[in-house]
Every structure is written in structure tokens, then in C-alpha cells.
């Protein structure tokens, strides 16, 4: 759970217990030009709990990945609704420049991070109205994988070097958890996947830590179509 006093719904993101040992990260293959938009329907144990509508836009020397995420769950006989807005700005080499996240609904909170400074500077505005200023020593090419933000895994897929293949290790950071570490990703090959009543041939990639496994399926253009965490019975399927 979050250390900052945020009010949020922990889904698959909360499973990512990063190994904190220092390890060289995989390097970037070259400049990126990402443009994509779509909607993920999100479910747990077959029950719909919300959706993520996202855009990834390349413009000049930067890439902006933003989303509107609506989630709902029942706790203590009450339905809690969460409405969050993550926005990640990267340079053309997929190195993060800034990140902002805000939450509306059952408690409000927000965070802002500037990755252009060393150390990176973060401001957490918690549900109790207090501001918490923090600094993090992060690599310039750190991958941002925040809790419950699916489109950031599409950026991870793009970072994966298809030429080298095999398991690759990246330095990572979970903003809502204020937690740096590393993530491992490997591609297992192409496989048929049934989505929305039709079969697609997709790349299957596995993201792993010591305690969690996240399965990703993406097409040949790197567009993410499905995210699954079997241990949490979590499933997200792209609708368009």
C-alpha cells in the first residue's frame, strides 16, 4: 500500500514488489515515435470494475502519455469510485521528463515529479491536505510504471529490444508507492489470443519480479491489447 496517505484502489500495480538491488538496466535501441489511443475494459474475477481511456502522442522532441481511469469497488457494503488522471511526459529517447497524477472521488490526492533534476524532485499532496516533498536518485532512463496505469506498459513494450530478445532488466519507479527498483521482461513468442470475439496473433511478453508476474500481449506495432495478472484474477482488454 501507499506510504503517502493517498486514497486509492490497489489493483495489479500493488503486486509489483520490486527487487531493490542495483542492476544495470537495458539500454534504449533508438529514438521512438509513439502514437496510439484506445480504451481498456478492466475486470477482476470476471467482474467489470472500470476502464482506462488513454492517448500516447509524439510531438517534436517529446512524447505525452495520458489517461482517464475510472474504477469502482465495494468495501464494507459501500461502493467506492475512483477517477484518476495520470500524465507522463518523455523525451524522444523515452526518458521521463515529468509525471503528474491526480485522484478524484473517494478521497482526493495528487503528485507531481520533475525528472530533469538530479535528484528527481517529487511533491505528494495527500488526502489529509498535507504536502510531502521528496527526492529520488533515479537513472535518466528509468521506466515509470505507476499503480493501475495500463498504457505505461505499452511504453515498456516499446523499450524492449526485439533484436536482442531474451530477458531484459530495466530500472523502474512506482510514483504512488515512492518506490524505485527494477523490472524484468521477456518475450515468449507469437500466439493466438481471443479478444472481443475475434482471434489475433499477438506477441506475448512476461513482466516479472520475485513476487509478481504480469502477462502482456501486444501487436507487431507495439500496441498493447491485453494485460493479465493471474494471481489477482486481473484482466484488462483493449476495446479499440
pLDDT at residue 50 above 80? yes
The pLDDT > 70 percentage for the chain reads 86
pLDDT, tens only, 222-239: 999 999 999 999 999 999
Question: pTM for the whole thing?
Answer: 0.88
- Cross-strand bridge partners of residue 204: 189, 217
Q: Is residue 4 part of a domain?
A: no
20-29, 91-100, 152-161, 172-181: range with lowest mean pLDDT: 20-29
Q: Is 44 a domain residue?
A: yes
Residue 7 resides in a domain? no
Q: Residue 148 belongs to a domain with what CATH number?
A: 2.50.20
- Tens digit of each residue's pLDDT (9 = 90 or more) over 160-206: 998 888 999 999 999 999 999 999 999 999 999 999 889 999 999 99
Which residue, among 24, 15, 31, has the nearest Cα to 158 in the 3D structure? Answer: 31
Does any domain span residue 214?
yes
116: in domain: yes
The boundaries of the domain holding residue 56 are 12-238
How many domains in the chain? 1
Amino acid at each position: 500500500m501507499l506510504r503517502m496517505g493517498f486514497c486509492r484502489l490497489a489493483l495489479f500495480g500493488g503486486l509489483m514488489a520490486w527487487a531493490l538491488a542495483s542492476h544495470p538496466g537495458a539500454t534504449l535501441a533508438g529514438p521512438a515515435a509513439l502514437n496510439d489511443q484506445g480504451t481498456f475494459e478492466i475486470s477482476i474475477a470476471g467482474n467489470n470494475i472500470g476502464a482506462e481511456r488513454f492517448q500516447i502522442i509524439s510531438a517534436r522532441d517529446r512524447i505525452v502519455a495520458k489517461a482517464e481511469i475510472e474504477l469502482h469497488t465495494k468495501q464494507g457494503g459501500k461502493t467506492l469510485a475512483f477517477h484518476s488522471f495520470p500524465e507522463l511526459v518523455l523525451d524522444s529517447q523515452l526518458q521521463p521528463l515529468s509525471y503528474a497524477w491526480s485522484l478524484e472521488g473517494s478521497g482526493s490526492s495528487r503528485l507531481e515529479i520533475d525528472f530533469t533534476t538530479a535528484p528527481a524532485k517529487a511533491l505528494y499532496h495527500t488526502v489529509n491536505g498535507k504536502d510531502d516533498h521528496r527526492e529520488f536518485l533515479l537513472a535518466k532512463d528509468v521506466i515509470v510504471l505507476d499503480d493501475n496505469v495500463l498504457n505505461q506498459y505499452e511504453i515498456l513494450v516499446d523499450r524492449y529490444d526485439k533484436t536482442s530478445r531474451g530477458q531484459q532488466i530495466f530500472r523502474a519507479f512506482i510514483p504512488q508507492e515512492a518506490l524505485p527498483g527494477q523490472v524484468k521482461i521477456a518475450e515468449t513468442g507469437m500466439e493466438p489470443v481471443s479478444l472481443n470475439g475475434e482471434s489475433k496473433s499477438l506477441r506475448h511478453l512476461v513482466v516479472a519480479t520475485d513476487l509478481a508476474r504480469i502477462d502482456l500481449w501486444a501487436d507487431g506495432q507495439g500496441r498493447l491489447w491485453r494485460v493479465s495478472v493471474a494471481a489477482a484474477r486481473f484482466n484488462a482488454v483493449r476495446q479499440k
